[in-house]
Homo-oligomer: A and B are copies of this chain.
Amino acid sequence: METKGVHFILELSGCDPDIINNLEQVRKILTEAAIRANAEILQVVFHKFSPQGISGVVVISESHLSVHTWPEHSYAALDIYTCGLDTKPQKACEYIINSFRAKDVFITTLSRGEFENGLYKHKLSQKEVHKGEDKIEKLDVVS
C-alpha cells in the first residue's frame, strides 16, 4: 500500500453548540462523512463528556476521522486522514463543516509519508475560510 496520506487538520469556529453537543448527531455526521469520502468504516467510537463535549473517532481502512468538540466555545477540532487514491477526504470536510454550521474554518493540509532523502516527512499548506452562514460547496485546498 502507498505510504502517502492526506491529513486535513481543521479548527471549526462558530459551530452550532446544540449540534456539537449531541452524541447521536455528531456520530451520525462523522459516519456519513466517512461514507461520502468513499472510505470503508472499520469501527466507530464516540464518547460524551460531562457537563458537555463529544470525542469520537471513525476508524477506516484508509486511516481515521476524529473530532473533539467544545460546545461552550462553539468550537470543534477535526482530523480527517485518508490514504489511497479512491478516497475523497475533501467531501468529508465539506460535509462536516456544513453540518456543524461552522462560520470560520482554519485548515492545515498535511501530505504525509512523503519519502525524501531516505526518510519519511510531511509537507503542508494552510488556508482560512470565512463562510459565515453560507454553505461551502467546494473547499478547494491543496493536498
Contacts from A to B (Cβ < 8 Å): 1, 3, 5, 7, 9, 11-14, 42-43, 45, 47, 49, 53, 55-57, 59, 61, 63-64, 66, 68, 70, 73, 75, 77, 79, 81, 83, 104, 106, 108, 110, 112-113, 118-122, 124, 128
Contact = CB atoms under 8 A, between A and B. Distances in A.
A3 B113 contact: no
Nearest to A12: B120
B122 A108 contact: yes
Q: How many copies does the complex hold?
A: 2
Q: Summarize A's interface: helix, strand, loop or mixed.
A: strand
A55 B47 contact: no
Contact of A64 (B61, B66, B104, B128): B66
Given A13-B120, A77-B112, A57 B64 contact: yes
